[in-house]
Amino acid sequence: MHKEIIRREQVSDEHLPDTLHPLVRQIYARRGVTNKAQLELTASHLCAVDSLKGLPEACELLYQALQGQKNITIIGDFDADGATSTALMMEALQMLGSTNHHFLVPNRFKYGYGLTPEIVDIANSQGAQVLVTVDNGISCIAGVKRAKELGLQVVVTDHHLPGAHTPPADAIVNPNQVGCNFASKSLAGVGVAFYFMLALRKYLREQQWFEQQNIKEPNIAQLLDLVALGTVADVVSLDANNRILVEQGLKRIRAGATRPGIQALIEIAGKNQQKLVASDFGFALGPRINAAGRLDDMAFGINCLLAKDLSSARVMAADLDDLNKARREIEQGMQIEAEQVLASLQFSESNLPHGISLFHGDWHQGVIGIVAGRLKEKYHRPSIVFAKGNDDDASGMNNSDADSIDISSNEIKGSARSIPGLHIRDLLEYIDSQHPGIIIKFGGHAMAAGLSIPANKFEQFSALFEQYAEQWLSKEALTGVLASDGELLTNDMTLAFAQVLREAGPWGQNFPEPVFDDVFTLVQQRIVGEKHLKLVVEKDQQVFDAIAFNVDIKRWPDNQAKQVKLAYRLDINEFRGKQSVQLMVEQLD
């Protein structure tokens, strides 16, 4: 969908340092930076550990487990946040002196998301005595009940929104649980796990644990590379606290202080480790880890992150890269089919439903979340894409941390992505309350959710989704808007200023990278890589390279066009050791 470009309003930035470039100071102010301290992305400015509810109980429980050398089993999730959370817990427990800890990621097809009763039984059969969930658990009431029946202890660490009831765990650590005063509600699952391990180290120190075990007190900051990767890949809001976590992780990676698995992923993605930026986590590293959970077994991704040497990590990273290529091919085919289904329903950009819901019997469960996201981006409508459940002999996979359902032959699985102005989890909860029996299970966030419905209820659900989306969405919310920081003077369209913008990050969800807009003279245009438009544009007698990805090749190249209006990000292109300014086009007219 073509978006209306709206320039951000000028706001007061007098509260920010004069040493900043004037435009950077304005950009920060527009993104809600209220004081100089928010720009000091040092660990000392992180939210206090002890403000997270549930940590004392969780730390005491794990201390007793360490003392008794109990079998601690980490129950992970299928996406990059779940993988980094699991790897972080495995590494941290080893650093803290544990000799009996393991991880278990459910087979996606067989058991569904999270701590299900079936997964509890498997963990129990493997000798687990203490279960610690990461990036899941807050909605796993039946699973926790089963664990308690078997005499297991359970610590839930999660960041998803709790429902009306919480599981009867021995301890729950979740910034979004009722009564938690932790200032940052946007922690990713890996952020929650990091804070838990910080608190556990402090607790063990107070018990003289390290002296008793004759081990050196570890530096938990060594795990910040995992925290940064999982935080950005999970697309949580980059509030001040998360920006610190990401920046500190990036600094460690750029300095070479990262684990072999992340180094190997950076290499296979063709990125420069010394110049890594936050968006590389979301667009290069994260998708390769996610591919394991989508198409095969997330244990591959976790084991890559846990690799002890670079040579073995490179082998695993190459396997993840192959899975990601396969995922792209599947996604492209599904995207074409989704467009065909929309066309058969006689929808067009000028005649769209308020909510898009599509189902195809041959679609791949592991990729429906990505396709829903693509539809949401293209048409600016909340979108849900459904696929059939698979046979029990299929491999485990994932489509989103929010896609939490049980699989059976008479259920179909949906992955939802929403737009600002519609809280998708709340909408699903409303449909469930008003029409019991249509939704079997659901969970998620404001912008992403997952659900399962009976296969024979799809048409009814689709009609209700459209009905309530129309009621809940305002006309303003249905208009796609691209926020711009305005015109960028040619004097600032330089490598030096592009570097200033890069260093002003990390940029990400709810702290967006600056976008500028302007009209340029069109000098050259050609298609590269089948559907990407390579441009040379001119302004004030200066020429610039630009590239627009995934353009409508029916419209572009346009040999009649003499001028083009671009909304773009100022970027640095590196080719054969040389750097040049490149405009990364967000939209062109």
- Would the pLDDT of 399 be above 60? no
The answer to whether residues 511 and 30 touch, using CB atoms and an 8 Å cutoff, is: no
- What's the rounded Cα separation, in Å, for the pair 428 and 445? 11
Q: What is the pLDDT of residues 161-181, one digit of tens each?
A: 888 899 999 999 999 999 999
Read off the pLDDT of each residue in 216-231 and give the average, rounded to a whole number: 97
Q: What is the pLDDT of residues 82-126, one digit of tens each?
A: 999 999 999 999 999 999 999 999 876 667 778 999 999 999 999
The fraction of the chain above a pLDDT of 90, given in percent, is: 77
Q: What is the pLDDT of residues 451-474, one digit of tens each?
A: 999 999 999 999 999 999 999 998
Amino acid letter for position 554: K
Q: Where is pLDDT greater, at 409 or 350?
A: 350
- Would the pLDDT of 307 be above 60? yes
**What's the confidence (pLDDT) of residue 529?**
85
Query: Cα angle at 331 between 327 and 333, to 5 degrees?
Result: 125
Least confident of 47-56, 326-335, 439-448, 551-560: 439-448
**What's the confidence (pLDDT) of residue 404?**
38
The fraction of the chain above a pLDDT of 70, given in percent, is: 95
> Using 50, 70 and 90 to split pLDDT, how confident is the model at 390?
low
List Cα–Cα distances, 567 to 115, 240, 278, 495, 498, in angstroms. 44, 27, 21, 19, 16
Read off the pLDDT of each residue in 58-81 and give the average, rounded to a whole number: 96
Closest CA to 565 of 2, 53, 1, 146: 2
- Would the pLDDT of 481 be above 90? no
Exposure of 554 by Cβ count < 10 A (0-12 exposed, 13-18 middle, 19+ buried)? Answer: exposed
In the chain, what are the domains?
4-33+482-588 (2.40.50.460), 48-217 (3.90.1640.30), 345-479 (3.10.310.30)
> Using 50, 70 and 90 to split pLDDT, how confident is the model at 403?
very low
**What's the confidence (pLDDT) of residue 108?**
67
**What's the confidence (pLDDT) of residue 349?**
63
Amino acid letter for position 222: Q
**What's the confidence (pLDDT) of residue 499?**
95
Q: What is the pLDDT of residues 541-579, one digit of tens each?
A: 999 999 999 888 888 999 899 999 999 999 999 887 789
**What's the confidence (pLDDT) of residue 55?**
97
Q: What is the pLDDT of residues 75-84, one digit of tens each?
A: 998 899 999 9
**What's the confidence (pLDDT) of residue 395?**
27
- Would the pLDDT of 131 be above 50? yes
**What's the confidence (pLDDT) of residue 219?**
96
The answer to whether residues 25 and 42 touch, using CB atoms and an 8 Å cutoff, is: no
The phi, psi pair for 539, rounded to 5°, reads -150, 130
* pTM, to two decimals: 0.89
- What's the rounded Cα separation, in Å, for the pair 17 and 25? 8
How high does pLDDT run on average in the chain?
91
- Would the pLDDT of 425 be above 70? yes
> Using 50, 70 and 90 to split pLDDT, how confident is the model at 365?
confident
> Using 50, 70 and 90 to split pLDDT, how confident is the model at 62?
very high
- What's the rounded Cα separation, in Å, for the pair 83 and 192? 13
**What's the confidence (pLDDT) of residue 523?**
95
Exposure of 526 by Cβ count < 10 A (0-12 exposed, 13-18 middle, 19+ buried)? Answer: exposed
**What's the confidence (pLDDT) of residue 172?**
98
List Cα–Cα distances, 402 to 235, 356, 472, 530, in angstroms. 12, 18, 21, 33
> Using 50, 70 and 90 to split pLDDT, how confident is the model at 333?
very high
**What's the confidence (pLDDT) of residue 109?**
62
